[in-house]
Each structure stands twice: as C-alpha cells, then as structure tokens.
Amino acid sequence: MSHPRPTSVLVIGYVWPEPRSSAASGHVMQILEAFLAQGWDITFSSPAGPGEHKADLTELGIREVPIELNSSSFDTFVSELVPDIVLFDQFMMEEQFGWRVEKHCPDALRILETSDLQSLRHARHARLKERLKASDDANDFTRLFAPALREEFELMADTDLARREIAALYRCDLNLMISQVEIDLLVEQFHLPRSLLHWCPLMVDAPIAPPKAFEDRAHFLSIGNFRHAPNWDAVLWMKNTVWPLIRAQLPTAQLHVYGAYTPPKATALHNAAQGFHVMNWAEDALQVMSDARICLAPLRFGAGIKGKLVDAMLCGTPSVTTPVGAEAMHGEHAWPGAIAHTAEDIAEQAVRLYKEPSHWNEAQARGQTLLVERYQRTAHAAALIERINDCRQHLTQRRRDNFTGSMLRHHTLKSTQYMAQWIEEKNRAR
C-alpha cells in the first residue's frame, strides 16, 4: 500500500537564517518550526552566502540547497523538487524567482513572508532625515511618531520600492504580515484585498520559570543588528541625546549595547567613562536581556514589530521605547514599561523604572500577560497552517478572484523574466 508523500515546501530566503542576529530570521525559524510540526518536507534555498551566525537547518531535518540568481539551474532544481508550497522570504526573492516558480510549478501555493513592509520603513527613514535637516532639535519627535495612515501612504506611493513591493504582494497567493498596522495600511490605503493578507506575528512560548527579580538585575541594555538602519539610528540618538540625560540623573548608570555585525563606527562610540559600552554580538541574547534591569529601544523609524521587545517580555525585562517601537505590538493592552515621544521623556521614564521596584514589577507583569495574549506560539502556528491549507484547497478560485495579481504576473513577470535571461546570457558570454 503506497502512502501519500508529505507536503513539500521550498523556502527561498533572502539570507540564510540567523535567528540570534535578527528578529526577521527568528520569525522565519518560527514558521519553519510550524511546518516541521506538520511533518512537511522542507528545503531551504538562498542565493546568499552563509552568514557568520547561520543556523544549522540540517540539524532540524531541513535540506539546505544553495541557488543562483539569474540562472536556469534553478529551473531544473525546482522542476525536480516539485514543491506544493513555495515561501519567498522578502519580496526581492519573489521578484527574482516568482516567475520561474510559476512557469515550472504552476500549482504550487506561493506565499510571501514580508518580515516588515520595507517601503514603509524606507519612507519613514526619508521623513526622519528631512526632519533632522530641517531642525537641530534632536529631542522631540512627537510629530514624526503620529502620522495618519493616509500620510504614510502619501510618503510611500510615489516610490519605486513601494510599487515593487506591493506588486509582489499582489502576485502571491498569501502574504504573511507581522504587523496589524501594516495590514490596515495595505487594505485601507493601497486597497489590497484583505484575503491576500494573514496576520502572523512573532510566535513564542511563554516562559515556565519566573523571570529574575528587580534586585537581581543591574544596568540598561540595548540590542539589535547593526546592519539594520533603525537600530543604528537608535544607537546614535542614545549616545548623543538620550543617554546623557539618563546619566545626569543616574551618574553611575551603565548601558550595554549589543548587536551582530558591529562596524568600526559603532565600536568608536564605546566610552567606559560615560557608562556607554559597545559589547558586539551577544552569544546568548536572552541571557544578557535577563540580567538587565531596563531595555532601551528609542527607535525613531522602522516598521513591522520588534523582536528585541518580545525578547524583553520573555525575559521579564521592562522596556522603554517610542510609538514606532511599540507599534502594532500591544493592541489594547498596557505597555510593559513606557512609551515616550521625546528624549527627556524616555530618560525620565527609564530612570523611574530603574529606581522604583513597585513600578518595575507592574511593568514586568504586563509583559507576561502580553506574551500570552498576543504572541502564543500554538495559537498562531495553528492559524497559519489552517490558512495555508484553506488557500491550497481553494487556490484556483483565489487566483481567479485576484485579477490584479494575475494581470501583474502576466505583464511584470515577463519583463523580469527577460531581464533575468538577458543577464544570464551576458554572464555566459564573459
């Protein structure tokens, strides 16, 4: 008696996952674990070279297959694999490989894992740069932190990046969105059908052991991959404006700044006399987070949701951040720490949490509640699998209903296809 083969999944990654370096990679790993729990057969491919902190996927039973950009070798590979599901990690991978998948595996469900809406993050970065040019005040960013969705749309709508990214969303059968704010933006302003979007935030298990107590912790902590522009901007704002305000009230306070891929420009900020310590990569991010009394995340721009702030909740570490940092992360629940708009307010709230055990304990408890209410792994993993199975079952109808997507695939992917074939021929001629 023959048994049906397990569902075959091909994941095409922008990079090889480094879950200890970035929240984006952590989210990909959580999705992979949800697939593995179903007994699905997974192949992970990427055109990128392996990073310094790459996860060992083979240890989990996932095949690792490097692939090339602009090469027909991928056509042979995907034709032999015949995946039932193809997940693109970031929209650039859909641009590169989507037309090849459609040509050789037309019945495969195509899913895009967005991590965050990159065109929104870039538009917000541009707005911050304009604000900094227009004013020497490095303190109050209240206006920057409270735009209406229409204003966000107008920032993005004329950019090539938004046109490319949202076209990719249309071309896919399902798009995994980590932020409900981004879902609202796409539906209300860009008029994407809500049926193309699925809310899939970070998926974690609430800790069983109680977190460390107030009196067993010391120091402030900031953490984040230095290659991610919002993190680097936050470090600069802390160094130049926020941290001096905290030190004025707590003269012996120490800040430990951790991040993967620390560049020389970050190392140059290290100043032990000011209590500003650049610590490079944390071997165990949860350990250093658990030892800290306060997590600082003064983000002036960004998108998606913030893995460092979920980690802070997991470790029972109250956090002080901005509306950008907390965006789409707490719903109707109180924030496990403080949300502030100005450098002075960030410093004031951070010092209060650092000094007042009762205030700190309340913040820690709110974090534990928030984890259970919004980030429970079992609930979100089950919802993701159910949505994928439903999409597979109704794939023909979904594609018919998504006429804009089929139109974009017809026109846009032809130009992508011809460009890729031209590059491949050019490379052969060298």
Mean per-residue pLDDT, 281-297: 96
Q: Determine the topology of domain 214-375 in CATH.
A: Rossmann fold (3.40.50)
d(CA 428, CA 406): 32
Mean per-residue pLDDT, 307-313: 97
Q: Percent of the chain beyond pLDDT 70?
A: 96
Mean per-residue pLDDT, 84-107: 96
Asked whether residue 111 carries a pLDDT value surpassing 70, the answer given is: yes
H helix and E strand count, the chain: 18, 13
Q: Return the SS3 of 12.
A: strand
Q: pTM, whole model, 2 decimals?
A: 0.94
Q: Could you tell me which residues come within 8 angstroms of residue 350 by beta carbon, excluding any fewer than 6 positions away?
A: 220, 246, 294, 296, 320, 338
The confidence score (pLDDT) of residue 52 equals 87
DSSP notation for 267-323: HTT-BGGGTEEEEE--SSHHHHHHH-SEEEE--SS--S--HHHHHHHHTT--EEE-H
Q: 43 and 63 in contact (C-beta within 8 Å)?
A: yes
d(CA 374, CA 309): 13
Mean per-residue pLDDT, 168-193: 97
Among 169, 173, 178, 174, residue whose Cα is nearest residue 26:
178
Q: Return the SS3 of 170.
A: helix
Asked whether residue 107 carries a pLDDT value surpassing 90, the answer given is: yes
- Please report, as a single letter, which amino acid is at residue 373: E
The confidence score (pLDDT) of residue 221 equals 98
How high is the mean pLDDT of the chain?
94
Between residues 45 and 20, which one has the greater pLDDT? 45
The confidence score (pLDDT) of residue 412 equals 67
d(CA 224, CA 237): 14
Judge: domain 8-119+150-203+378-429, CATH 3.40.50.2000.
yes
Q: 182 and 117 in contact (C-beta within 8 Å)?
A: yes
d(CA 364, CA 348): 18
Among 62, 85, 84, 65, residue whose Cα is nearest residue 76:
65
Q: 81 and 71 in contact (C-beta within 8 Å)?
A: no
Q: How confident is the model at residue 136 (pLDDT cuts 50, 70, 90)?
A: confident
Residue with tokens 């800290």: 292
Mean per-residue pLDDT, 144-159: 92
Asked whether residue 420 carries a pLDDT value surpassing 80, the answer given is: no
Asked whether residue 3 carries a pLDDT value surpassing 90, the answer given is: no
Q: 409 and 102 in contact (C-beta within 8 Å)?
A: yes
Mean per-residue pLDDT, 116-132: 96
Segments making up each domain of the chain, as ranges: 8-119+150-203+378-429, 214-375
Asked whether residue 1 carries a pLDDT value surpassing 60, the answer given is: no
d(CA 347, CA 340): 9
Mean per-residue pLDDT, 391-420: 85
Q: Bridge-partner residues for 109, per DSSP? A: 85
Beta-sheet strands, E only, within 14-54:
41-46
d(CA 204, CA 28): 12
Among 269, 238, 218, residue whose Cα is nearest residue 347:
238
Give long-range contacts, CB 8 A cutoff, 24+ apart: 262-271.
262/226, 263/226, 266/226, 266/232, 266/235, 269/235, 269/236, 269/239
The two beta strands, 85-89 and 63-66, are unpaired
pLDDT tens string 336-352: 999 999 999 999 999 99
pLDDT tens string 353-371: 999 999 999 999 999 999 9
Assess whether the region 8-119+150-203+378-429 and the region 214-375 belong to the same CATH fold: yes
Asked whether residue 56 carries a pLDDT value surpassing 90, the answer given is: yes
Asked whether residue 304 carries a pLDDT value surpassing 90, the answer given is: yes
pLDDT tens string 6-43: 999 999 999 999 998 888 999 999 999 999 999 999 99
Q: How confident is the model at residue 418 (pLDDT cuts 50, 70, 90)?
A: low
Q: Bridge-partner residues for 87, per DSSP? A: 11, 111
Asked whether residue 2 carries a pLDDT value surpassing 60, the answer given is: no
Q: How confident is the model at residue 112 (pLDDT cuts 50, 70, 90)?
A: very high
Cβ atoms within 10 Å, residue 430: 4
Asked whether residue 182 carries a pLDDT value surpassing 90, the answer given is: yes
pLDDT tens string 201-247: 999 998 989 999 999 999 999 999 999 999 999 999 999 999 999 99
pLDDT tens string 58-77: 999 999 999 999 999 999 99
